[in-house]
């Protein structure tokens, strides 16, 4: 049995290699308190745009803005564990680009509609075709 080891795989034209017959995640980004964590995939940076709002930038862009994404955010106020958290793309023009995505983290509580917060820990996974 042979072992193939590589740091970077590119197409013959020098761009991103095409993955066939699979629907593997093309981006995985994880950050804690605004710092990108190790183990990310095709994820270059996080930009803090204000309370609960940040931009994930990709190393290699998607072919178009029609890629799928899912995210999660963790919140702990120290006294309550009954707080629902979520992460979303607002859907406004410019939130989804081929090279980045703007995300918003907020919590919903029985006594509050929706409150933006800086998540202690977030995850982002994107699926789609790379350019």
Handedness of CA 70, 88, 51, 64 (dihedral sign): positive
Residue ranges per domain, the chain?
Answer: 27-127
pLDDT in tens, 32-90: 766 777 678 898 888 888 888 888 899 999 999 888 888 887 766 665 543 445 556 55
pLDDT the model gives residue 60: 94
C-alpha torsion sign, points 31, 34, 36, 42: positive
Res 62: pLDDT? 93
């Amino acid at each position: 049995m042979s072992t193939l080891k590589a740091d970077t795989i590119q197409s013959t034209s020098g761009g991103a290699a095409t993955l066939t017959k699979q629907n593997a995640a093309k981006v995985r980004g994880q950050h804690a308190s605004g710092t990108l964590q190790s183990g990310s995939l095709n994820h270059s940076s996080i930009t803090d745009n204000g309370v609960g709002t940040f931009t994930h930038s990709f190393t290699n862009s998607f072919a178009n803005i029609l890629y799928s994404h899912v995210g999660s955010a963790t919140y702990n106020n120290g006294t309550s564990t009954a707080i629902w958290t979520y992460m979303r793309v607002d859907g406004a023009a410019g939130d989804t680009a081929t090279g980045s995505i703007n995300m918003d983290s907020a919590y919903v509580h029985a006594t509050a509609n929706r409150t933006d917060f800086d998540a202690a820990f977030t995850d982002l996974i994107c699926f789609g075709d790379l350019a």
